[in-house]
Amino acid sequence: MLNQSRAAALALIAPLMLATLSGAASADNSATGVSQPREDPYYPDKGDPRIDALHYGLELNWNRASRTLAGTATIRVRATRDVQRVQLDLGAPLTVGTVHLDGTLVPAHHTGKDLRIMTGPLQGNSRHTLRITYAGTPQPVRAPVSRPDFSRVGWTTTPSGDVWTMQQPFGAFTWYPVNDHPSDKASYDVTISAPGDSVGVFNGKLLDRRSEAGRTVTRWHLGSPSASYLTTIAIGNYSRYRDSGPHGLPISYWVEPRDRDLLPLLRKTPSMISWLEARLGRYPFQRIGAVVVPSQSAMETQTLVTMGRALGRSRLLFVNDLLHEYVHQWYGDSVTPNNWKDLWLNESFAMYVQIRYEVSQGTATMSHWRRTLQDYDQFLRREYGPPGEFDRADFASTNVYFCGAYMLDELRAKIGNRLFAKVLRTWPAQHRNQNVDRGDWIRWLNEVTHRNLRPFVTAWLTSERTPRT
């Protein structure tokens, strides 16, 4: 995710930069969507480890005039243990109609964001189908952040009745019933019905687009299991522009007429993916692209990154952050942390690779970036906490980006360029479609390097002061 707190930090270090800048891993769930959900150490009120969502089938009908959403969610689930009831997250402004379990009407209670479904006894590892109807006026919710680029997450309606969303660390629950936690990945089939010529955009492959009774209906399929925070939806006057990447990779840019000037920047995508594949290995999904929305931020939503229109005020910022979100397809989307305390597993790597990209493009030098990371590491630790023990009210602040990137550059110096390049490339390839935590990464790192790097990594992630190298 783009961090405008990072942008604010960049403003602090402008004099330095302007010279060069104008837990255990789950089994591979790629086929089944099977995950091992867990309770989050930072945000335990989101998600329920007793339930594992395997697939979401969503039928969404948006009424622009009344700002209301009518939805039907058909969710294939697995009980992770013997249970008497299960719980999903669903925004308080939405009203539940009926809930069926395997075709039978069952009672449910919706209090706040908690949708408690009285299933009766379910055996551990048993599979079931929930069908939930709901409707209402979706509203975004406050995010646990102190960043200037956003303060709320989830379904956002513009004054004209268009829709967009970003939802890290949570927010999917503002528009559909969901186990809203990164440890639970699932596949998706989504149908969006929007008024007039408005087009509903979602992750994955567009299967069908048709006009029906004065409405535009789009059908989408996301076959690669995704964490809920990595889903996206946008409804507006979108046109699709196609491109082709390495080995015929399908690329789509979804842009409204007022944002067509961003197309030349978006069309850097094929060269970006080629550059990334040379360093991170084969792109892990079957398609890629971007949707531009009226936001000041950006998000690594799976297979279709969400780019804020406001970033286009600086062409360099837009390009660098587009690259950053593409890095996340390897680090964060394919390989996803199973808890938010390990957000650094996403952002540290994406920031470090972004730095290397900037250097390769001649818009920065590594010496200046290293000086930046060194000069601000202590300040960021003091302000927001260590990257692996950040203040939970300061989610995704600059520390998980800069301090983690500094750690990775020190790791490179410690183990050498060749071995570090192997680490960077091999981790996502060997953990594709998995959920992981820092223990998994440290154990794997020790195996690959044949060294005990646990003290080194632990110090960099948890120390309140910059570790001595």
Per cent of the chain over pLDDT 70 is: 94
Q: How confident is the model at residue 20 (pLDDT cuts 50, 70, 90)?
A: very low
Q: What is the rounded end-to-end Cα distance, in angstroms, of the chain? A: 29
Alpha-carbon span 149 to 85, nearest angstrom: 39
Per-residue pLDDT reduced to its tens digit, 442-469:
999 999 999 999 999 999 999 999 998 7
pLDDT band, residue 18 (cuts 50/70/90) = very low
The stretch 105-127 carries a mean pLDDT of: 98
- What percent of the chain has a predicted confidence (pLDDT) above 90? 93
pLDDT band at 118 (very low <50, low <70, confident <90, very high): very high
Q: Cα–Cα distance between 67 and 332 in angstroms, integer?
A: 32
Exposure of 447 in the CB half-sphere (CA atoms within 13 A): 9
Question: Does the pLDDT value for residue 242 go beyond 80?
Answer: yes
Question: Residue 238 — very low, low, confident or very high, per pLDDT cuts 50/70/90?
Answer: very high
Q: Which residue has the tokens 């929007």?
A: 194
pLDDT at 267: 98
pLDDT computed for residue 7 by the predictor: 47
Is the confidence at residue 8, as pLDDT, over 60? no
- In angstroms, rounded to a whole number, what is the distance separating the alpha carbons of residues 58 and 88? 15
* pLDDT over threshold 60, residue 199: yes
pLDDT at 469: 72
Q: What is the mean pLDDT of residues 305-334?
A: 98
Q: What is the mean pLDDT of residues 401-410?
A: 98
pLDDT 10s digits, 348-398? 999 999 999 999 999 999 999 999 999 999 999 999 999 999 999 999 999
Position 31 scores a pLDDT of: 52
- For 77-114, how does the pLDDT look when each residue is reduced to its tens digit (9 = 90+)? 999 999 999 999 999 999 999 999 999 999 999 999 99
> Is residue 15's pLDDT more than 50?
no
* Per-residue pLDDT at 337 exceeds 60: yes
pLDDT, residue 1, reads: 79
pLDDT for 25-46, tens place per residue? 334 444 578 999 999 999 999 9
Region 328-351 average pLDDT: 98
pLDDT grade, residue 305 (50/70/90)?
very high
pTM equals: 0.94
pLDDT given at position 3? 60
Q: Tell me, what's the pLDDT at 342?
A: 98
Could you count the other beta carbons within 10 Å of the beta carbon of residue 237?
14
Q: Is the per-residue pLDDT at 414 higher than 70? A: yes
pLDDT (average), residues 314-340: 98
